[in-house]
């Protein structure tokens, strides 16, 4: 009897935890109309940016439609602080989230109730560093650098990945936030996604044995430093040789 009660209690806790993690659609609706409808519309249809003040505080309002974007996009933009934007004309950047984890779960549940992509599964421990490096080199390094330090592209700043969690990495791959392209399972399958997440997490604290990391800025700065050090060494050697010949 005691064992049965413990099992029942454990199942109740698990169900309660799952319900809490899933969020409340009704509470998410209240949050949406209080904070998001100004820019995304009362039916999640989106609001065109007209250049006129339309927000509750007189600020500009305008945003894309959210109907059908799914929970993955909503979770990514809210947890990274990309949304809400103070100025819809400016590109989003990572900041502290404007909502609590509970509020984010509720908003995600509400947006997800209008259809779209579910959150992707990701298990970095099942991935391969070698495969992750290959996938990152082919699809990501052109903008984020091979070390995940970010960079600059046309009309956008590419963010560094040092703060990204495995879930955020997977969501970004599937969603394609802002100017980043999205990749479905035909382009990056589940094993490659796990491996990609493992590699990006590895770049936060890479193994620098036998070398000088130089803040992991990439091969060009490392090459410049190498040439400067080599040039200084050559100057010292040349001076010593010159002084030796004078004697």
Q: How many other CB atoms are found less than 10 A from the CB of residue 165?
A: 15
Please list, residue by residue across 47-78, b when 16 or more beta carbons sit within 10 angstroms of its beta carbon and e when fewer do. Answer: beeeeeeeeeeeebbbbbebeebbbbbbbbbb
Domain-by-domain residue ranges, the chain? Answer: 21-112, 124-202
CATH of the domain spanning 124-202, picked from 1.20.1250.20, 1.10.760.10, 3.55.40.10, 1.20.1740.10: 1.10.760.10
Which whole number is the average pLDDT over 80-91? Answer: 86
For residues 144 and 122, give the distance between their C-alpha atoms in angstroms, rounded to a whole number.
Answer: 20
pLDDT of residue 201: 96
Are the folds of 21-112 and 124-202 the same? yes
In Å, how far are 48, 60, 122, 236, 246 from 73, measured between CA atoms? 20, 23, 15, 57, 72
117, 175 contact by CB (below 8 A): yes
Position 75 scores a pLDDT of 97
Give the confidence band of 149 by pLDDT, cuts at 50, 70, 90. Answer: confident
> Could you please report the per-residue DSSP string of 85-141?
-S-TTSPP-----SS-HHHHHHHHHHHHTT--BPPPP--GGGS-HHHHHHHHHHHTH
Q: What is the CA radius of gyration of the chain?
A: 25
Least reliable range by pLDDT among 157-161, 172-176, 206-210: 206-210
Mean pLDDT of the residues in the chain: 83
pLDDT at 88: 79
Closest CA to 188 of 118, 121, 92: 121
CA dist 164 and 152 (Å) reads: 18
Q: What global pTM score does this model have?
A: 0.74
18-33 burial, b if ≥16 CB within 10 A, otherwise e? eeeeebbbebbbebbe
Helix (H) or strand (E) holding 156: strand 156-158
User: Is 21-112 CATH 1.10.760.10?
Assistant: yes
Please give the pLDDT value at position 217.
60
pLDDT band at 229 (very low <50, low <70, confident <90, very high): confident
Q: What is the mean pLDDT of residues 121-137?
A: 97
3-state secondary structure of 47: strand
Q: How many CA atoms lie within 13 A of 47 on its CB side?
A: 20
- How many other CB atoms are there within 10 angstroms of residue 16's CB atom? 10
């Amino acid at each position: 009897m005691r064992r049965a009660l413990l099992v029942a209690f454990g199942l109740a806790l698990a169900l309660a935890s799952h319900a809490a993690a899933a969020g409340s659609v009704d509470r998410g609706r209240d949050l949406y109309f209080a904070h998001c409808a100004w820019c995304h519309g009362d039916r999640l249809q989106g609001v065109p940016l007209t250049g006129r003040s339309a927000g509750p505080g007189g600020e500009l309002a305008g945003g894309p439609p959210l109907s059908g974007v799914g929970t993955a996009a909503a979770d990514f933009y809210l947890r990274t602080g990309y949304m809400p934007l103070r100025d819809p004309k400016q590109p989003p950047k990572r900041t502290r989230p404007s909502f609590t984890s509970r509020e984010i779960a509720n908003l995600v549940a509400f947006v997800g109730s209008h259809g779209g992509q579910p959150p992707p599964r990701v298990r970095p421990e099942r991935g391969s560093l070698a495969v992750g490096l290959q996938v990152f080199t082919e699809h990501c390094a052109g903008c984020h650098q091979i070390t995940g330090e970010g960079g600059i592209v046309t009309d956008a700043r590419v963010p560094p990945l040092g703060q990204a969690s495995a879930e955020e990495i997977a969501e970004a791959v599937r969603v394609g936030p802002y100017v980043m392209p999205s990749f479905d399972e035909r382009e990056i399958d589940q094993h490659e996604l796990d491996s990609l997440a493992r590699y990006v997490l590895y770049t936060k604290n890479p193994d620098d044995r036998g070398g000088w990391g130089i803040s992991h800025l990439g091969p060009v700065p490392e090459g410049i430093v190498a040439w400067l050090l080599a040039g200084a060494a050559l100057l010292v050697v040349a001076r010593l040789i010159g002084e030796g010949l004078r004697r």
